Amino acid sequence: MKPFLTIKDLKDKLNKKEVTQKEVITFYLNRLKKYKEKLNATIDIFDQDNNNNNNNNNLLAGVPGILKNNISIKNKKITCGSNILKNYIAPYDATVTEKLENNGAVILGTGNMDEFAMGTSGEFSAFGPVKNPWDLTRSPGGSSSGPAAAVAAGLVPWALGSETGGSVRQPASFSGLVGLYPTYGTFSRYGVVAFGSSNDQVGPLTKTVYDNALISTILMGQDPKDSTTLNRPTQDFTKNLTGKLPTNLKIGVIKDGIESENIIPEVKEHFKNAIKHLESLGAKIQYIDIPSLKYGISIYFIISRAEAASNLARFDGSLYGSRVNAQDLKDMYINTRDAGFGQEVKRRILMGNYVLSASHRDTFYNKADYIRSLLRQELENTFKSVDLLISPTTTTLPFKIGQESKDPLLMYMADYFTVPTNMTGNPALSLTCGYSKDNLPIGFQFIGPRLSEDLIYQVAYAFEQSTDYHTKNPAGYE
């Protein structure tokens, strides 16, 4: 077997009996172990009992992957990349875990991540930073850093991340992958440790659009255990992947994506080339100004931290994870949280409690919530004139490890184009549109109206199949 096989390739080999499920699992287990120290992409790797003889009719029969370590796998550690949960064992499966396993997937391990999904570089993990397979001195993105690095290096064909403000799409851009943030409520959050509950969704990371659409087909559906899931009919997102754009497709280019001075020139150049390529495929291009977009970072900054402070209040040593003993209850709370949480998590909790405080709630949180509704309405109005929007996924190339973590504000601003859709609940898909002069991946994203994943996949697939970006792999992992 060779690395960098897609799910589609692997299923074909299994169906033709060119390889057995046991051989596939052994191959990928060995790769995860071989590159664990080099990339630090995984927290735990699960040895298998070699009894994984799944029915080949299952969509993912015998196809291995990993889950970000904030997604529950029964009887396995769920650390969230934090010391406070370093030995905590999940008592049940997340709904998405059940769906994957019911469709034959073999989960080989857990992906390293920024602590409690708070970070954009993979450096804020209690278990050390994750390295980008394209350049070991750089970040693979975050907070789904480990899942992205593992797929990019061909250690597994797919991985599941989670996203609150770009944590699937930004690693996809930095790592040369396809990453989806679905319409909010499309995938169940049951069993996924919360960061910002009104934004959080899991999302697949894969080499190709087809593979991504296949995973999303499996994950979607209403869940009685999660009241935020949508009652929408299940869809086969691979059905309309014809390689052609829909007739009279109108694509809106977000003006900031080509005009902003904050975007580095190489990202801007390759994004412009993607626009030209879509036009050559038959898309009608319009340039769209979205005035409220510039507030996306600000309202995300306020609302996500408020929700984080609330969600993380439960981790105090009394119920979950590690505990630091003290003379009284108050000191136990303080000592446990001080020892258990890292710098970035503490920073966000402080900010969250500040904007929720009685004297500041109206000034910050309530205003941010109002602007959020304006941004949502503005996007809805925009989609009356275009079918999809496009923009760069992120403003920069992969960060040098250590560079961005020293400047949190600069790191937050890299999410300028991802967080607005998280705040509005619109679906968005990142895929590669080129490589820098130093051979670093550059991504752009399709953004659609709510419930438009099928259209997004169809258009992204047409772009992907008419280019060769998805065929490139980092060197040194053959």
Chain length of the chain: 478
The letter for the amino acid at 446 is: F
Catalytic pick among 144, 145, 162, 167 = 167
Instruction: Output DSSP code: residue 364.
Output: I
Tokens for 95? 């709904």
Catalytic pick among 11, 68, 207, 268 = 68
Mark whether 162 is an active-site residue: no
- Is the previous residue joined to 143 through a cis bond, with omega within 30 degrees of 0? yes
Instruction: Output DSSP code: residue 145.
Output: H
- Are 137 and 95 in contact, with CB atoms under 8 Å apart? no
| Sign (positive or negative) of CA dihedral 207, 209, 211, 215 | positive
CA dihedral 358, 364, 365, 368 (to 10 degrees): 160
Query: Does residue 252 sit in helix, strand or coil?
Result: strand
Nearest C-alpha neighbor of 420 from the set 460, 459, 392, 385: 392
Burial 22-31 (b: 16+ CB within 10 A, else e): eebbebbbeb
The letter for the amino acid at 350 is: L
Mark whether 68 is an active-site residue: yes
CA dihedral 286, 291, 297, 301 (to 10 degrees): -140
Report CA-CA distances (Å) from 297 to 301, 305, 327, 412, 420: 6, 12, 42, 8, 7
Tokens for 277? 């390529």
- Are 161 and 69 in contact, with CB atoms under 8 Å apart? no
Mark whether 77 is an active-site residue: no
User: Phi first, then psi: what are they for 433, rounded to 5°?
Assistant: -125, 10
CA dihedral 376, 378, 383, 389 (to 10 degrees): -80
Render 73-127 in DSSP notation, one character per residue: -TTSB--TT-GGGTT-B-SS--HHHHHHHHTT-EEEEEE--SGGG--SSS---TT
Report CA-CA distances (Å) from 74 to 338, 368, 457: 28, 37, 32
Render 173-225 in DSSP notation, one character per residue: HHHT-EEEEPSTTSB--TTB--SSTTT-EEEEEESSHHHHHHHHHHHBS-BTT
The letter for the amino acid at 123 is: E
Alpha-carbon span 156 to 28, nearest angstrom: 6
Q: Which residues are catalytic?
A: 68, 143, 167
